[in-house]
Amino acid sequence: MRQRLFSFIMMNLGAFLVSINVHFFLSPNNLATGGVSGLSIIMNDLFPGLSLGLFMIIINILLFIVGVIFLGFSFGAKTIYASFALSFYVWLLEIVAPMSQPLSDDILIQLIIGQCIAATGMAIVFHQQASTGGTDILALIFNKFFNIEVGRGVLLADLFIALSSAVLFGPQVGMYAFFGVILNGLVIDYTLQQFNSNKEIVIISKYSDEIKSFIVHELGKGATIHTAKGAFTSDEKEVITTILGRKDFSKLRGFITQIDNRAFITVHTMNEILGQNFKRLA
């Protein structure tokens, strides 16, 4: 129950961060950087009678209907909730803090700040095994019928929306929108890496028994041991491989420094780890 509550809070936090970007940074500058929000900004300019938040709700409903027709219910309840939470927060901000003009005359700095906020929010939602919906559904349809990778499908949909903004709002705004799409992807990847900050550590030391004992008994983690031979000396040595989080790695490094400052250590940041005590395979 506590885990579900935490996931619910984090999804709302992520959706709210994305809505801040849409309301305060993208919409006032007509920056359609992809997704349902970008498409809604374009539609809101063409049909100004409805608010941006209501356009997002309508488009999400239409996309989910199309998704059910072509995909069934393959997208989860969390994604449905997160997408409508985003639309609701945008609509709420329009009421609570209406924007009559951009925050500043510098579109680029607004784009960078806004996209960094939104990408962080999207990464938080992704970390809860959900997404903000929208063009993700179109990408899944492309994947099913045209065998286009989902990530590439999302990018194509977002780039098409950015191109539409260039036609509607002019080439300068369009170029900013293209830049926003790319920046968004980069910041999402970086933020997700911070969530999954496990490191693979490979250690060669003459005090391997002490290091193994520290990993198992002090850190409560496992390790893999294998024997290797040095190319220069032909000496056989024990090689310890373990996977640790950032905090445990800091403790291990401090311990090794105390007992063997000549130890050989390599460290690799892992993008994803499946199985055992880490992320489930399914």
The CATH number of residue 223's host domain is 3.30.70.120
Residues 78-93 have pLDDT tens digits of 878 888 899 999 999 9
Same domain, residue pair 172 and 58: yes
Q: Is position 278 within any domain?
A: no
Report for 122-126, 149-153, 194-198: range of highest mean pLDDT: 122-126
Same domain, residue pair 213 and 241: yes
Q: Is the pLDDT of residue 191 over 90?
A: no
Q: How confident is the model at residue 275 (pLDDT cuts 50, 70, 90)?
A: low
Name the one residue in this structure whose structure tokens are 């400052």: 261
Q: Is position 88 within any domain?
A: yes
- Which of 65, 44, 66, 69 minimizes the C-alpha distance to 54? 44
Same domain, residue pair 65 and 120: yes
Q: Is position 9 within any domain?
A: yes
Q: How confident is the model at residue 185 (pLDDT cuts 50, 70, 90)?
A: confident
Distance CA 270, CA 196 (A): 7
Q: What is the pTM of this model?
A: 0.72
Q: Where among 179, 195, 211 does a domain terminate?
A: 195
Same domain, residue pair 119 and 221: no
Same domain, residue pair 231 and 159: no
Q: Is position 279 within any domain?
A: no
Q: Is position 224 within any domain?
A: yes
Same domain, residue pair 43 and 151: yes
Same domain, residue pair 170 and 211: no
Same domain, residue pair 188 and 203: no
| 189-210: average pLDDT | 84
Same domain, residue pair 240 and 187: no
Q: Average pLDDT, whole number, for the chain?
A: 86
Q: How confident is the model at residue 277 (pLDDT cuts 50, 70, 90)?
A: low
CA-based torsion, 169, 174, 175, 177: positive or negative: positive
Same domain, residue pair 160 and 141: yes
| 229-249: average pLDDT | 86
Same domain, residue pair 212 and 191: no
Counts for the chain of helices (H) and strands (E), in that order: 10, 4
Q: How confident is the model at residue 147 (pLDDT cuts 50, 70, 90)?
A: confident
State the residue range of the domain holding 134: 2-195
Q: Is position 33 within any domain?
A: yes
Same domain, residue pair 177 and 205: no
Q: How many domains does the chain have?
A: 2
Q: Is position 280 within any domain?
A: no
Least confident of 56-60, 102-106, 149-153, 189-193: 149-153
What's the DSSP call for residue 134?
A: T
